[in-house]
Amino acid sequence: SQMSAKATKMVIGSIRILAFLLAFPQCLYSKIKVMPGRTLCYVQWPEGPKQHSTHHIIVIILVFCFPLLIMGVTYTIVGITLWGGEIPGDP
């Protein structure tokens, strides 16, 4: 089945909003430190390293594991569908 144009726009909009929300904490807590000869940009989390680790775990799950799972399920469905199908032109 195919999605309607409205549903497609909603999916694209949701992905963009989630991407913004995922990047927002880094933007919010970024600090700039000017030193002689260089400028440093770093993220200073209010609760320290524990919050930093939590954010990285969430990013890994949302950016790597979740899409990998979706692709795996999708390719499995396509493979099962093609495996059981008829070969075109076969008598």
Vertex 34: Cα angle to 30 and 35 (nearest 5): 130
Stretch 22-39: mean pLDDT, rounded?
91
Taking phi over 0 as left and psi of -120 to 50 as alpha, with beta for the rest, 18 belongs to alpha
Cα(81)–Cα(67) distance, integer angstroms: 21
Contacts of 18 by beta carbon, 8 Å cutoff, 6+ apart? 62
Contact 59/22 with Cβ under 8 angstroms?
yes
Evaluate if pTM is beyond 0.85. no
Stretch 33-42: mean pLDDT, rounded?
92
